[in-house]
Amino acid sequence: MRLLVVEDDRDLNRQLVAAFEQAGYAVDRAFDGEDGQFLGETEPYDAVVLDMGLPKKDGLQVLEAWRKSGKTMPVLIL
C-alpha cells in the first residue's frame, strides 16, 4: 500500500512517515500544498494524510483540486 503524507511540521511529518514505514507501508512525503498537490496528481496513492494549514496552498485547496481532476483516493485530514 502506498501513502502520501502532506504535513509542513517536519517533526510530525517524520513521525508519521516512520510509523507508516514501520507498519510496512511505502510512504512519500511533501511539506507544502504545491508539492503535495503535484504528487497526488501524478502518483498513484492508496491513501493520503493531509494537513489543512499548509504553506503555498492550503489543504482544502489541494483536496478540491484532486477531486476536480478525478482523484478519489481516501484522504485523512489533520
Residue with cell 511540521: 9
Residue 24, number of CB atoms within 10 A of its CB: 7
pTM of the model: 0.95
* Digit-coded pLDDT (tens) for 6-60: 999 999 999 999 999 999 999 999 999 999 999 999 999 999 999 999 999 999 9
Q: CA 37 to CA 62: how far, in whole Å?
A: 5
